[in-house]
């Protein structure tokens, strides 16, 4: 019997209605459009309204992913949600989305890997599908960072935005010419103090704040991401010339450009949404995928490399043949 492999059959995204530009922020804190653009590449971000919870946004993104995959609630065996900003401590955001989608079977759970969450969710879902445990899995990154930011700290509040992205994965036994080729995830808790949330979160609790040592995060980001990328290429006897697209976590334009340059990829081979979305943490990669697939840049057959680093520290990479 042919063992199943994982295909990515549909993606979807959701961005909150409200847009906040750099100039808008400059009216509230000591910053400017030029200061933010120069250091991050960000020009604007979407900020969730009261009704745009992690569950609501995740549900919207998931519905779009299912539609594009030609799937329904009956096709979903599992829902894995990556989020650092759940609506409540429990039940899991994944369970709330399961209910909102009308999925009555299977299982659902959250994972917490900060900005690496979508890569982690992909790795877990791929392993479950290959093991024969599931045939259809929704993986969702959904984040409401605006509710954990210190809006007086210009070093962090300008960096983040809200949003959700989703992908529907299927078990496929009809050859392995497309789908998830491999995933590679890592963590090192020795560096947990350079990027973290100072306490618990939740809509009914007093919000705590994100704390970041930006210089230290940047120092670790490129070498750790480069290592994960090299690991993925080496594991599959590939080189950077085989990559059609780099879809990186959208944290900072400088980090994105450094990774593209290291892989000898042209600017037209790197998907960039950080300028319009800011850092949406676990939602950033699926939102970027959705952007590039929707506008036709990423096409069937293309080899896509994704990579991310987040608080923990956590980091990882994956190769996907579309």
Going from the N-terminus, what domains does the chain have, and what CATH number goes with each?
1-322 (3.40.47.10)
The two most distant CA atoms of the chain are separated, in Å, by 63
Pairing of strands 18-21, 179-187: unpaired
Whether the pLDDT of residue 88 is over 80: the answer is: yes
Specify the pTM.
Answer: 0.95
Q: What is the pLDDT of residue 3?
A: 85
Grade residue 96 by pLDDT with cuts at 50, 70 and 90. Answer: very high
Catalytic residue among 5, 46, 249, 277: 249
Q: What is the pLDDT of residue 141?
A: 98
Q: Are 305 and 105 in contact (CB under 8 A)?
A: no
- Is pLDDT larger for residue 129 or for residue 199? 129
| Residue 249 designated active-site | yes
Q: What is the pLDDT of residue 202?
A: 52
End-to-end CA distance of the chain: 24
Grade residue 140 by pLDDT with cuts at 50, 70 and 90. Answer: very high
Directed axis angle between helix 284-294 and helix 54-69, to 10°? 40
Kindly state the tokens that stand for 302: 């293309």
Q: What is the pLDDT of residue 206?
A: 55
CA 181 to each of CA 79, 234, 250, 284: distance values in angstroms, whole numbers, following the listed order? 21, 12, 22, 21
Q: What is the pLDDT of residue 13?
A: 98
Grade residue 198 by pLDDT with cuts at 50, 70 and 90. Answer: confident
| Residue 157 designated active-site | no
Mean pLDDT of the chain: 94
Residue 173 phi/psi, 5-degree rounding, is: -115, 5
Grade residue 161 by pLDDT with cuts at 50, 70 and 90. Answer: very high
- Is pLDDT larger for residue 17 or for residue 89? 17
Average pLDDT over residues 231-245: 96
Distance, CA of 88 to CA of 307 (rounded, Å): 28
Read off the DSSP letter of residue 185: E
Tell me whether residue 300 is exposed, middle or buried, using C-beta atoms within 10 angstroms of its C-beta: 0 to 12, 13 to 18, 19 or more.
Answer: exposed
Q: Which of 67-76, 170-179, 295-304 has the lowest mean pLDDT?
A: 170-179
Catalytic residue among 22, 172, 252, 279: 279
Q: Are 141 and 164 in contact (CB under 8 A)?
A: yes
Average pLDDT over residues 212-226: 92
| Residue 302 designated active-site | no
Grade residue 214 by pLDDT with cuts at 50, 70 and 90. Answer: confident
CA 208 to each of CA 82, 146, 196, 289: distance values in angstroms, whole numbers, following the listed order? 19, 11, 10, 30
Catalytic residue among 46, 115, 134, 157: 115
Q: What is the pLDDT of residues 2-58, one digit of tens each?
A: 789 999 999 999 999 999 999 999 999 999 999 999 999 999 999 999 999 999 999
Average pLDDT over residues 163-170: 98
What length does the chain have? 322
């Amino acid at each position: 019997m042919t063992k199943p492999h994982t295909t990515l059959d549909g993606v979807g995204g959701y961005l909150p209605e409200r847009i906040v530009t750099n100039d808008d922020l400059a009216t509230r804190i000591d910053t400017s459009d030029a200061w933010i653009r120069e250091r991050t590449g960000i020009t604007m971000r979407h900020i969730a309204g009261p009704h745009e919870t992690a569950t609501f946004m995740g549900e919207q993104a998931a519905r779009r992913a299912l539609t594009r995959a030609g799937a329904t609630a009956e096709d979903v065996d599992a829902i894995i949600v990556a989020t650092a900003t759940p609506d409540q401590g429990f039940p899991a955001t994944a369970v709330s989305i399961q209910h909102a989608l009308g999925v009555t079977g299977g299982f659902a759970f959250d994972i917490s890997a900060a900005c690496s969450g979508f890569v982690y969710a992909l790795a877990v879902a791929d392993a479950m599908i290959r093991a024969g445990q599931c045939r259809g899995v929704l993986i969702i990154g959904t984040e409401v960072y605006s509710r954990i930011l210190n809006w007086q700290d210009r070093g962090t509040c300008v960096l983040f935005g809200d949003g959700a992205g989703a992908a529907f994965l299927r078990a496929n036994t009809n050859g392995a010419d497309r789908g998830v080729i491999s995933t590679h995830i890592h963590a090192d808790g020795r560096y947990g103090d350079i990027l973290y949330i100072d306490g618990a979160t939740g809509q009914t609790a007093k919000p705590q704040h994100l704390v970041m040592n930006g210089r230290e995060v940047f120092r670790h980001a490129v070498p750790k991401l480069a290592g994960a990328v090299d690991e993925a290429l080496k594991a599959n006897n590939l080189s950077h010339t085989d990559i059609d697209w780099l879809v990186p976590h959208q944290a900072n334009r400088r980090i994105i450009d450094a990774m593209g340059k290291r892989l000898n990829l042209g600017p037209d081979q790197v998907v960039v949404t950080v300028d319009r979305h800011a850092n949406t943490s676990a939602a950033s990669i699926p939102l970027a995928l959705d952007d590039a697939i929707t506008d036709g840049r990423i096409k069937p057959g293309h080899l896509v490399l994704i990579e991310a680093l987040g608080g923990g520290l956590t980091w990882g990479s994956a190769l996907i043949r579309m």
